[in-house]
Structure 1
Amino acid sequence: MSTTSFLIRKDQLATTRLHTATDEALADGQVRVRIDSFALTSNNITYAAFGDAMSYWRFFPSGEEGWGSIPVWGFASVVQSLHPGVAVGERLYGYWPMASAAVLSPGRLSPERFTDVAPHRAELPAVYNQYFRCASDPLYTADTEDTQALLRPLFITSWLIDDFMADNDFFGAKTMLLSSASSKTAYGTAFQLHQREGIEVIGLTSPSNVAFCESLGCYDRVVTYEALDTIAADTPCVYVDFAGNGALRNAIHERFTNLAYSSSIGGTHVEQLATKGAGKDLSGPRATLFFAPAQIKKRTTEWGPDEFGRRMVAAWHNFLATVTDAKAPWLHAEHHDGGEAVQAAYAQVLAGKGDPRTGHILSLYKQPASA
């Protein structure tokens, strides 16, 4: 058996290649999974952009200097097992390499999940090392796997951003400015914030995405990046930056004299990451990176793991019901099977092109249907 991996040049994200290697024998306690499908979104591009700074490259080391595997979220099936607690055929949801297969070292097993206790992952954030056993996962439904892969990890971040803002009383502001408003993490955050009484949610986006953002119904206003001057400069506000565009961040900080807090989430505008507006010369508050695992740790300590899970599951099902409403679904999945299709989809997402209603589901295991 062999595994095909999709590798990215760490210092040149547009440079990619496919690599196939013969599988090594499993050690006692290990399992091999077939990665059936995974989502690719701008969130994964953020993983690559911050791959060294935030250790994302360390989860699935390629073994080749300068090349990395971007972590992705999706579903896999156990095809070999030398672990007595994990059966062949079991279906899992979790964090995978962009590859056709992966090897895990399950530990700390429960009916709902287990942790990959491979030594190289021991110092990495625990939230990324957990694998959910679909048969007992309260967030899993068999008929919504594509939507789960696309939105579940992003929505959990969105839910945590909303909780973090509420936990800090919105830093005294009543207006939330969300950049890259058509992105999945942004509109998930807007969905949560929109339920907060007295909070105005303004989505910032490009002209081509205004209609889409307005159609969602979770933004009080949608404003193009070029029309920031339509928002009063003295508005007490919080900026939640999903774009990572330094020039935009600089413009926000310069215009809004009552900017109470600036939160950096990701980088959908990769070509402008860490450019002007990211450093010490920024006007107003310092741009602070939001790190979801820190809020998870805080709330699981305060609420307890069971209550944390109950609240998150309830919020997820509420969001899922809205997103998958048959009359007006927020997105549809587009499948890309096989190496060439995966490369093309990656290039499209990296370039920030495409319909915001389209979600990309990829597989290096499945081969494209013959013509």
Structure 2
Amino acid sequence: MTTTTQLLIRKDDLSSTRIRTTEDAALAKGQVRLRIDRFALTANNITYAAFGESMNYWQFFPTGEEGWGCIPVWGFGSVVQSLHPGVAVGERLYGYVPMASSIVLAPERLSPARFADGAPHRAALPAVYNQYFRCASDPLYTSGTEDLQALLRPLFITSWLIDDFFDDNDFFGARPGVVLLSSASSKTAYGTAFQMHRRDGIEVVGLTSATNKAFCESLGCYHRVLAYEELDQVAADAACVYVDFAGNGELRRAIHTRFPQLRHDCVIGGTHVEQLAPAGSAKELPGPRATFFFAPAQIKKRTTEWGEQAFGQRMVQAWQDFLATVAQPTAPWLVAEHHDGAAAVQAAYAQVLSGRGDPRIGHILSLSR
């Protein structure tokens, strides 16, 4: 009998974790068991936990235990058992997985490039998160860069969509103008800056902690990088939009108060978990109401307008450009650090949750080693 190991998180206290190991049930007809070989843990996954209830992230991989959740992550795995005629043992897959050593999937809507998990509890959840990409036919896959793909691929796709969303809306009247990005050292923020930096009439300003300022400046994708306490260096009368990766309520208040020409406040994540604003508090601020960005909605819009093939071609080209820049051997933006085994995974989670650490290090975890 094989077993599965999971990292469980208290939904009401994200710092409280425990390891659970359970015996695997036999597969049903049409199911496959995926050994999860490696997955990335980033601030984005902390956002999944912080908004787990309101955005339904806890529902993807239910634990069956009241009050305890399993955070979704992005990673690679190999099929170790299969009762599905269309999926062979040994096949390599990339997709949305739990922080665990394995997962059972029910493949449906198979194509050479991908399939969807047909588990009933996922049927009403966004389809984009239920897709598993077959590495042998995946145009975004390269065998030598799995670590960087796990760390950056889902984040960059979000970054690319954020940039497209703002361009699609002509930056809400703030072009020419300023884009303010909080948590500028985070991967989704600098992926967004990488795209927006190429837009005419836009000054991309990264906001970060004083300790991460030099790192953000070294990337070259921000026109300016300011520490949070240096916000007053941006002209108060500037037409601007705010892209919030931090979820810091005090920073939001400062931006809404300082900039009467703030045209849009776009909420992406909550990396500053300890400073998340109470629900509803943003309603009291002057200027536009803070609005969540939901990537699947922009995907649906663009695939309808451009067609799936054209959408995919544009995304692949953007991804290849970004990956080549990040992985440049002389000055890489990101270096992977591996954490194998239950104790190492718990420690890495605590470090990422704290928001401290070298932004140039990307954490790759495994509970199957």
Q: TM-score, normalised by structure 1?
A: 0.98
In structure 1, how many angstroms separate the alpha carbons of the residues matched to 2:203 and 2:232? 17
Deviates more, 1:158-167 or 1:194-203: 194-203
Shift of 1:283: 1.3
Q: Equivalent residues in 2 for 1:314-325 (5 A)?
A: 314-325=317-328
In structure 1, how many angstroms separate the alpha carbons of the residues matched to 2:160 and 2:13? 32
Summarize the Cα distance change of 1:179–1:20 in structure 2 as closer, same or farther, 3 Å threshold.
same
2:116 counterpart of 1:115: yes
Structure 1 residue runs of 5 or longer lacking an equivalent are 367-371
Q: Counterpart amino acid of 1:336? A: H
The 3-state SS of whatever aligns with 1:285 is coil
CA RMSD of aligned residues (A): 0.8
Deviations 1:41-62 (A, max 9, x none): 0000000000010100000000
1:348 aligned to which of 341, 348, 351: 351
In structure 1, how many angstroms separate the alpha carbons of the residues matched to 2:216 and 2:261? 25
The 3-state SS of whatever aligns with 1:280 is helix
What is residue 45 of structure 2 aligned with on the other side?
44
Deviations 1:44-100 (A, max 9, x none): 000000001010000000011110000000101000000000000000000000000
Summarize the Cα distance change of 1:285–1:31 in structure 2 as closer, same or farther, 3 Å threshold.
same
Q: Equivalent residues in 2 for 1:95-244 (5 A)?
A: 95-173=96-174, 174-244=177-247
2:258 counterpart of 1:255: yes
Say whether the 8 Å CA contact 1:247–1:275 is kept in structure 2.
no
In structure 2, how many angstroms separate the alpha carbons of the residues matched to 1:359 and 1:35? 18
In structure 2, how many angstroms separate the alpha carbons of the residues matched to 1:164 and 1:301? 14
Summarize the Cα distance change of 1:2–1:276 in structure 2 as closer, same or farther, 3 Å threshold.
closer
What is residue 341 of structure 2 aligned with on the other side?
338
Q: Counterpart amino acid of 1:265? A: I
In structure 1, how many angstroms separate the alpha carbons of the residues matched to 2:228 and 2:102? 41
Shift of 1:280: 1.6
1:357 aligned to which of 355, 360, 364: 360
Q: Counterpart amino acid of 1:347? A: A
What is residue 70 of structure 1 aligned with on the other side?
71
In structure 2, how many angstroms separate the alpha carbons of the residues matched to 1:246 and 1:357? 26
Q: Counterpart amino acid of 2:147? A: D
Say whether the 8 Å CA contact 1:70–1:98 is kept in structure 2.
yes
2:305 counterpart of 1:302: yes
The 3-state SS of whatever aligns with 1:208 is helix
Deviations 1:146-183 (A, max 9, x none): 00000000000000000000000011112100000000
Say whether the 8 Å CA contact 1:31–1:83 is kept in structure 2.
yes
In structure 2, how many angstroms separate the alpha carbons of the residues matched to 1:30 and 1:92? 15
Say whether the 8 Å CA contact 1:38–1:149 is kept in structure 2.
yes
Q: Counterpart amino acid of 1:75? A: F
The 3-state SS of whatever aligns with 1:279 is helix
2:25 counterpart of 1:18: no
Q: TM-score, normalised by structure 2?
A: 0.98
1:246 aligned to which of 220, 245, 249: 249
Aligned residue pairs total 366
Same amino acid, percent of matched pairs: 75
In structure 1, how many angstroms separate the alpha carbons of the residues matched to 2:39 and 2:193? 25
Q: Counterpart amino acid of 1:25? A: A
